[in-house]
């Protein structure tokens, strides 16, 4: 009698242990539009959103950021600058030429000898190839073009290089992530690593992934870039926000992108 009871208990415990090691993917985290929104223990911000917010992202008609994709497409074909070129002149149809491109940004630029973000590459093309004025960071034009280009990688996994020349910048970005700053003396990790899933006042903290950027934030009632978010995060902990396009932010962007490696590019995502 005792032997059988022990045997049953052992089976029960084994089953519990097996269950806890079972796959951590949750079906309700999937997007009907893009499929799996998590890889191992890396979760897209999508998985933390309310169902209503997710629904807006999953519907290309309802997603207000899709208007920026249309704007970007229009800009893509528009001639601008003294060289009388449009993006299309060199890159032809973005649907083909830009596929997978954004998923590798930020990347090392051998001419600049440092990392560059997608926004910066767009302006490099404008100033050097098109002889046009660079677009101001966070302007509607730069946002639209960044969203349009990154949208061509939608569904593809984030795949940034952190090796070779990018390695030292990746290390700097990682250092920034774990460095305390501001009046509240906090590092990125305190919210996004130690407390992901918990509440900060009325907001649920996510892992701070950037695979969906530029994103339509319901709080902003507008689309915004990664650097806008970085500045906001810094302001939240009462640290001095850096300038848009600052080297530190581009390095940080590489590190944070790497933290979301394998997650699908969702641009343009919808977040709270």
Partner 1 sequence: MAKTKARVKAPKSAKKGEAFQIKTLISHKMETGQRKDKKGNKIPRDIINKFVCTYNGKEVFSADWHPAVSANPYLAFYVKAEESGSLEMTWTDDAGKAVKKTAKVTVS
Q: Which of 20, 23, 183, 221 forms a contact with partner 1 (CB under 8 A)?
A: 221
Report how many residues bind partner 1 under the rule CB under 8 A.
Answer: 11
Q: Which of residues 33-72 bind partner 1 (CB under 8 A)?
A: 56, 61-62, 64, 67, 70-71
Q: Is 104 in the site for partner 1 (CB under 8 A)?
A: no
Rounded to a whole number of angstroms, the minimum distance from the CB of residue 64 to partner 1 is 4
Query: Of residues 87, 188, 191, 233, which has the active-site annotation?
Result: 233
CB nearer to partner 1: give 62 or 175.
62
* Residue 233 a catalytic site member: yes
Q: Which of residues 190-219 bind partner 1 (CB under 8 A)?
A: 218
Rounded to a whole number of angstroms, the minimum distance from the CB of residue 62 to partner 1 is 6
3-state secondary structure the chain: CHHHHHHHHHHHHHHHHHHHCCCCCCHHHCECCCECCEECCEECHHHHCCHHHHHHHCCCCCCCCHHHHHHHHHHHCCCECCCCECHHHHHCCHHHHCCCCHHHCCEEECCCCEEECHHHHHHHHHHHHCCCCCCCCCCHHHHHHHHHHHHCCCCCECCCCCCHHHHHHHHHHHHHHHCCECCCCECHHHHHCCCCCCEECCEECCCCCCCCCCEEECCCCEEECHHHHHHHHHHHCCCCCCCCCCHHHHHHHHHHHHHCCCCECCCCCEEC
Q: Is 21 in the site for partner 1 (CB under 8 A)?
A: no
Rounded to a whole number of angstroms, the minimum distance from the CB of residue 185 to partner 1 is 27
CB nearer to partner 1: give 124 or 218.
218
CB nearer to partner 1: give 212 or 260.
212
CB nearer to partner 1: give 52 or 163.
52
Rounded to a whole number of angstroms, the minimum distance from the CB of residue 225 to partner 1 is 18
| 265 contacts 156 by C-beta, under 8 angstroms | yes
Q: Is 222 in the site for partner 1 (CB under 8 A)?
A: yes
Q: Which of residues 121-160 bind partner 1 (CB under 8 A)?
A: 140
C-alpha closest to that of 263 among 22, 48, 13, 4? 48
CB nearer to partner 1: give 59 or 194.
59
Rounded to a whole number of angstroms, the minimum distance from the CB of residue 272 to partner 1 is 13
Q: Please state, in angstroms and rounded to a whole number, the distance separating the CA atoms of residues 13 and 49.
A: 34
For the annotated catalytic residues, the residue numbers are 233
Which parts of this chain interact with partner 1 (CB under 8 A)? 56, 61-62, 64, 67, 70-71, 140, 218, 221-222
């Amino acid at each position: 009698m005792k032997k059988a009871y022990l045997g049953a208990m052992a089976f029960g415990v084994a089953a519990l242990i097996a269950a806890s090691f079972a796959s951590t993917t949750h079906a309700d985290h999937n997007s009907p539009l893009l499929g799996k929104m998590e890889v191992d223990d890396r979760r897209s911000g999508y998985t933390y959103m309310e169902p209503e917010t997710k629904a807006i992202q999953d519907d290309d008609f309802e997603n207000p950021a899709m208007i920026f994709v249309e704007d970007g497409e229009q800009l893509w074909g528009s001639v601008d600058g003294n060289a009388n070129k449009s993006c299309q002149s060199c890159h032809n149809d973005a649907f083909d030429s830009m596929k997978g491109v954004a998923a590798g940004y930020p990347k090392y630029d051998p001419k600049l000898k440092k990392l560059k973000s997608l926004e910066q590459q767009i302006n490099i093309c404008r100033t050097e190839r098109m002889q046009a004025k660079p677009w101001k960071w966070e302007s509607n034009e730069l946002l639209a073009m960044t969203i349009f280009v990154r949208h061509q990688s939608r569904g593809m996994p984030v795949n940034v290089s952190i090796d070779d020349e990018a390695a030292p910048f990746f290390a700097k970005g990682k250092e920034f992530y774990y460095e305390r700053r501001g009046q509240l003396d906090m590092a990125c990790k305190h919210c996004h690593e130690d407390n992901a899933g918990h509440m900060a006042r009325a907001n649920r903290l996510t892992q701070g992934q950037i695979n969906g950027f530029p994103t339509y934030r319901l709080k902003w009632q507008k689309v915004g870039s990664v650097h806008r978010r970085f500045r906001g995060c810094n302001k939240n902990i009462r640290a001095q926000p850096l300038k848009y396009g600052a080297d530190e932010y581009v390095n940080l962007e590489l590190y944070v992108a790497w933290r979301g490696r394998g997650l699908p590019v969702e641009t343009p995502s919808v977040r709270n």
